[in-house]
A and B are shown apart, each in its own frame.
Chain A
Amino acid sequence: MYGKGILKGLGVTLKHFIDTYVDDIRMGKSRYGTEKGIAYRSSKDARGIFTVQYPEEKLPTPEEFRFIPFLVYDEGEDGEREIRCTSCGICAKVCPPQCIWIHRSKDPETGRPVPEPAEFFIDVDVCMNCGLCAEFCPFDAIIMDHDYELAVYDRHANNIYDKEKLLKPAEYYKDIRPRNYALQEAARAEKAAKKSAAKARRGKA
């Protein structure tokens, strides 16, 4: 019969339409604007309407999600910021669009390089969010952020991030990437243990 294909197709749309309302009734208020509702709409069982109403609703970002990088600092004993970055320059060298600029500190007396950046800039207009800097930093000092809402009115005035703007506490890192944080902390602890064991051995000898 001519037109059968069209009717079959319309059946599919009708089913989607009905499914939306069936789910609305079944899930009630929890279908929209709640974590459960969003999770349902992005699950394998999703039927009917599946749009997430950004910005009222937001998809949760998975741990590995990457946006602009930030610099990590640890809280010292007396609340001091201990910047992890040693200004080794690897991230600046690996960055594909070359948007990281690091000014290495020098000791004013000896003139030797000090392992802390005097300045650290990222031109976030240029950053391509590739994550290579974080992947290759040997000190877990630069981490990819989850914050993707970065719109500004004047990009020329705002979009070169300096050290102050880039620094975030290790707590925040732990918060957005708990699994990676735990893994890295374990690796660091192991390394430190090895080091002190080696020191102890040397001390004995």
Chain B
Amino acid sequence: MADTTLIAENDILARFPEGVSQDERKGYQGYIVAADRLVEFATALRDEFGYDYLSSVTGVDYLPEGKMEVVYHAYKSTGGGALVFKVQVPREDAVVPSLVGVYKGADFQEREAWDLLGIRFEGHPNLKRILMWEGFAGHPLRKDWKEAYFEEEKKPFDSRWPGGDVYRAEDKNPFGKNVVYPEKFDPEKWTPVGEEGFYGGLRGFDAGDGDEDLKTEQVVVNLGPQHPSTHGVFRMVVSLEGETVVRLEPVMGYLHRNHEKIGERNTYLMNIPFTDRLDYLASMSNNWGYVQAVEKLLGDKAKVPERAEYLRVIMAEFTRIVNHVFAIGTLLNDLGAFFTPMLYALEERELILDIFEAVAGSRMMCNYFRFGGVARDLPPGVYEKMRDLVFERLPRKIDELDRYLTENEIVRARCEGVGVLTPEEAIAYSAAGPVLRASGVPYDVRRADPYGIYDRFDFDVAVRYHGDVYDRYLVRLDEIRQSIRILQQALDDLPEGEIISGKPKYSIRVPAGEAYGRVEGPKGELGFYIVSDGSANPWRYHVRAPSFINLTALGKMCEGDKVADAIIILGSIDIVLGETDR
């Protein structure tokens, strides 16, 4: 972790007189690092400058310039703004050294960039596809890649108006003809052979392995993709030694829909309802992360009025409560306490969703935030309802949930000391949100790098120190209490006034440049990286999904624990597949 002898950020260019330069494109920031100096640079950044937390790794395809760029956002785990650095390589031969050796949290993100953009990370221990399947042809986020239902480069599509002769996309592109296979690949003939065929690609898997003298044999078990514990379509491949997990690897992508490609075809406004579908339990926070990034690009044009700032905080904190009661409920389900705790938790969620429905029009797909404000003011009666909940009911009910579960001996026996992640590991693996804070790192974007008006509220960053499943549960409980505190202040101070700046426009142009907006979503740091080329559609739209990146540490957490514990460890990370797979 950070110590006192760190070098200041301004000295970066002095420290690296060669191979590192300022990114001088208009609207861009940070440094451009030569590919061969990258590992050295990142190591120095971590050890000498204190940027020990790598938040986001992604690529951008600059097709017209023939370049592929990898963008890194690093932070200090003690708080503060981002340090952005980039590597540029030729598009056709995109090879970048892997940073997994420096930041373990780069693992899945680099695999994603390989999968979707075709950037090869040299030295990556396990570079293979992560969201698409192995038999998939091409790298879909490349700008010259066209998907099966391809109609046009950008929305709105010309065919819709004025000569809108309707047809169904499936009719033009029937099922079965909408897939391209790699050359020499015949899906009819392809069958995986034996265990090797199924698991051969998995890291360290060794079919028929086992110590001859001890006569032990490792068994590979698939949990999922259809499994009640995985909260969706998600697979864990576990190598077992008896009941003990030796290795665990998450396999995902079953719900992948190339959200980012869709986002790059959409106009800026269209993306807001699409973000609802990421983490569908927390659509308000998703909205916020996205509009924040775009507002950064828009600058003063999108200044958020006071009332809207408060409404944003109120909605985001309600969302956190919704998410955490749900997470606690499902954790208990995973523990085998079927549905009674879950339903008690859901009751509070329902009451909050009633509010969302009354204000935003939908219980889950809220689509409530707009650039420079929010979509709608509170209808009559809703404010009172919120007050009743926040001042009267929720505190009482959360205490009840606490009384109900926290001291339960079975819960404690199952959860304490299970799935431990040390603070150093949590930072190295880029874990975020409750997972990070339960490991004793008091890092919360609302405090570390405040956005909106969070600097005005009095609240504590919830933190626990054992890094186990039980502490992750407790952190969520603490956070609900803190959210109630914030809500009480926000409702007391809610000013009258405008809810959006300027007249809402259906098509906006965004000044060219890049921006990274991040919020403390209920599941952790939710970031949106946006590159604008000045047109009505984003050139690059990337989501830093906490559900996805938190899974990087899953294997580590499960090693040495029992297979039954793997289920609750997964439950304690609290993933939503809509966001993991995007």
> B-contacting residues of A (Cβ < 8 Å)?
2-6, 8-9, 12-13, 16, 42, 44, 46, 50, 59, 61-66, 87, 89-90, 92-96, 98, 100-104, 113, 119-121, 123, 128-132, 135-136, 144, 156, 160, 179
Do B166 and A123 touch across chains, with their CB atoms under 8 A apart?
A: yes
Chain B residues in 8 Å Cβ range of A123: 166, 168
CB closest chain-A residue, reference B404: A12
Asked if A44 contacts B273 (CB within 8 A), the reply is: no
Closest to A5 in B: B407
Closest 4 CB pairs of A and B: A5-B407, A101-B164, A130-B273, A104-B162
The answer to whether B361 touches A65 (Cβ under 8 A) is yes
- Can you list 12 pairs linking A and B with CB atoms under 8 Å apart? A5-B409, A5-B411, A12-B344, A50-B347, A62-B357, A64-B360, A95-B156, A96-B271, A102-B160, A121-B164, A130-B365, A131-B362
* Chain A positions within 8 Å of B267 at CB level: 94
- Complex-state Cα separation, A194 to B347, whole angstroms: 50
Expressed in whole angstroms, the Cα–Cα distance for A104 and B392 within the complex equals 54
Given that A6-B409, A130-B365 are contacting pairs, would A101 and B357 also be in contact in the complex, using a CB cutoff of 8 Å?
Answer: no
In the complex, besides A12-B400, A101-B161, A130-B367, 7 extra interface pairs with C-beta distance below 8 angstroms are: A5-B407, A9-B403, A63-B358, A65-B361, A66-B361, A103-B164, A129-B362
Our pick among A13, A63, A98 for the contact of B340 (Cβ within 8 Å) is A13
B507 within 8 A of A: yes
- Nearest residue (CB) in A for B164 is A101
In the complex, what distance in Å separates the CA atom of A202 from the CA atom of B453?
50
B506 pairs with A5, CB closer than 8 A: no
- Give residues of chain B (369-410) contacting chain A, Cβ–Cβ below 8 Å: 375-376, 379-380, 385, 388-389, 392-393, 400, 403-410
Q: Which of B269, B392, B404 has the most CB of A within 10 A?
A: B404
Across the interface, which residues of B come within 8 angstroms of A44, CB to CB?
A: 351, 385, 388-389, 392-393
The one of B166, B350, B379, B388 in contact with A63, judged by C-beta atoms closer than 8 angstroms, is B379
- Give the complex CA separation of A44 and B274 in angstroms: 32
Instruction: Output the least CB separation between A38 and chain B (Å).
Output: 12
Shortest Cβ gap from B470 to chain A (Å)? 12
* A89 vs B409: C-alpha distance when bound (angstroms): 62
Q: Which of A8, A16, A50, A102 contacts B164 (CB 8 A)?
A: A102
Q: Would B161 and A93 count as touching, CB distance under 8 A?
A: yes
Measured between beta carbons, the chain A residues less than 8 angstroms from B392 are: 44
* A3 proximity list for chain B (CB < 8 A): 409
* Contact assessment for B344 and A16 in the assembled complex, using a CB-CB cutoff below 8 Å: yes
* CB-defined contacts of B380 to chain A, threshold 8 Å: 179
Asked if B351 and A42 make an inter-chain contact with CB atoms under 8 angstroms apart, the answer reads: yes
Q: How far is the CA of A121 from the CA of B166 in the complex (A)?
A: 7
Contact present for B162 and A9 (CB under 8 Å):
no
Total contacts A-B at CB 8 Å:
150
Asked if residues B273 and A90 are in contact (CB atoms below 8 Å), the reply is: no
Cα distance A103–B162 when bound, in Å? 5
Docked Cα-Cα span, A120 to B269, in Å, equals 23
* Interchain nearest-CB distance for B419 vs A (Å): 21
| A9 and B274 form a contact (CB under 8 A) | no
> Counting CB contacts under 8 A, is B504 at the interface?
yes
- Find out whether the CB atom of A104 lies under 8 angstroms from the CB atom of B163: yes
B18 part of interface (Cβ distance < 8 Å): no
Q: How far is the CB of B360 from chain A (nearest CB, A)?
A: 7
Contacts of B375 in A (CB 8 A): 135
Contact between B273 and A128, CB atoms less than 8 A apart: yes
Which of B360, B379, B504 is in CB contact (< 8 Å) with A136?
B504
Q: Are A179's CB and B506's CB within 8 A?
A: no
CA distance A102 to B158 in the complex (A): 11
CB pair B168–A4 under 8 Å, yes or no, is no
Q: How far is the CB of A42 from chain B (nearest CB, A)?
A: 6
B270 contacts the other chain (Cβ, under 8 Å)?
A: yes
B403 contacts A8, CB within 8 Å? yes
Q: Cβ of B359 < 8 Å from any Cβ of A?
A: yes
Q: Are B361 and A144 in contact (CB under 8 A)?
A: yes
In the docked arrangement, what's the CA distance between A5 and B406, Å?
Answer: 8
Q: Which residues of A contact B389 (CB under 8 A)?
A: 44
Taking a contact as CB atoms under 8 Å apart, the answer to whether A96 and B273 are in contact is: yes
A93-B367 contact in complex given A46-B347, A129-B362, C-beta closer than 8 Å: no
Question: By the criterion CB–CB under 8 Å, are A96 and B344 in contact?
Answer: no
* Nearest B residue (CB) for A15: B400
1/0 per position for B468-509, CB-CB distance to A under 8 A? 000000000000000000000000000000000000101100
B165 contacts the other chain (CB 8 A): yes
User: Do residues A98 and B403 form an inter-chain contact, with CB atoms below 8 A?
Assistant: no
Which A residues lie within 8 Å of B400 (CB)? Answer: 12
Closest chain B residue to A133, Cβ basis: B506
Known contacts being A46-B347, A62-B357, A62-B379, is A101 close to B408, with CB within 8 Å?
A: no
Q: A5-B408, A123-B166 are in contact. Are A94 and B358 (CB under 8 A)?
A: no
Nearest B residue to A63 via CB reads: B379
Q: Are A132 and B164 in contact (CB under 8 A)?
A: no
Interface centre among B161, B168, B340, B412 (most CB of A within 10 A): B161
Report Cα–Cα, A120/B164, bound state, in Å: 8
- Are A160 and B506 within 8 A (Cβ)? no
Contact B506 A136 (CB under 8 A): yes
* Contact across chains for B160 and A100 when beta carbons are under 8 A apart: yes
* A54 CB → nearest B CB, Å: 13
Are the C-beta atoms of B156 and A92 separated by less than 8 Å? yes
CB distance from B270 to the nearest CB of A (A): 4
A96 and B274 in contact, given A101-B166, A123-B168 (Cβ under 8 angstroms)? yes
Q: Which of A16, A96, A160 contacts B266 (CB 8 A)?
A: A96
- Given the known interface contacts A92-B156, A128-B365, A131-B367, the answer about A64 and B164 at a Cβ–Cβ threshold of 8 Å is no
- Check if A96 sits within 8 Å of B270, measured CB to CB: yes
Tell me the minimal C-beta distance from A135 to chain B in angstroms.
7
A120 vs B271: C-alpha distance when bound (angstroms) = 24
CA distance in complex: A129, B273 (Å): 9
Q: Which residues from chain B contact A131 at a C-beta distance below 8 Å?
A: 361-362, 367
Complex CA gap A123/B169 in Å reads 10
B411 cross-chain contacts in A, Cβ below 8 A = 5
Q: Tell me whether B408 and A6 are in contact (CB under 8 A).
A: yes
B354 within 8 A of A: yes
Is B227 located at the chain interface by the 8 A CB criterion?
no
User: Chain B residues near A5 (CB, 8 Å)?
Assistant: 406-409, 411-412
Q: Is B155 an interface residue (CB 8 A)?
A: yes
Most buried by B among A2, A102, A120: A102
CB contacts (< 8 Å) of A50 on chain B: these are 347, 350
A160–B165 alpha-carbon span in the complex (Å): 12
Contact (Cβ within 8 A) B388 A9: no
CA distance A21 to B564 in the complex (A): 37
CA distance A51 to B576 in the complex (A): 25
